[in-house]
Amino acid sequence: MDEYRIQADFFKALAHPLALKVLNVLANNNKCVCEMAESIGEGQPQVSRVLSRLKKAGLVELSKNGVKACYRIKSPEVKILLEISAAVIKQETENIMQAMKKKKGGF
């Protein structure tokens, strides 16, 4: 498998709103599947499927605590990636809003 295919698979794991919700919950602290499902308002099976894809992509890791399956973000770089993407989106949104204001104002 070439490096671009691996990178594409990595980003595919992030390409769902639920995956991003899960990662943002985990950015604050480790959580068990049932806690994550409750905090983001999704079913446990859906959250488990997303976590499986994130784990396969190397973004999260699992630790067992008795019968509970708890997850955490695997490396601090994942948190940085989330922060960078949020900053890029914020900047792009501001650019779009400015362009709309200029267009509406006729400048």
| Structural domains of the chain, with CATH | 3-105 (1.10.10.10)
* C-beta separation of 33 from 71 below 8 A: yes
- Residue 27, pLDDT score: 93
Residue 73 has pLDDT above 60, yes or no: yes
Residue 71, both tokens: 């997850």
Question: What's the sign of the alpha-carbon dihedral 57, 63, 68, 71?
Answer: negative
pTM of the model: 0.82
Q: What's the CA gap between 61 and 7, in Å, rounded? A: 18
- Residue 101, pLDDT score: 87
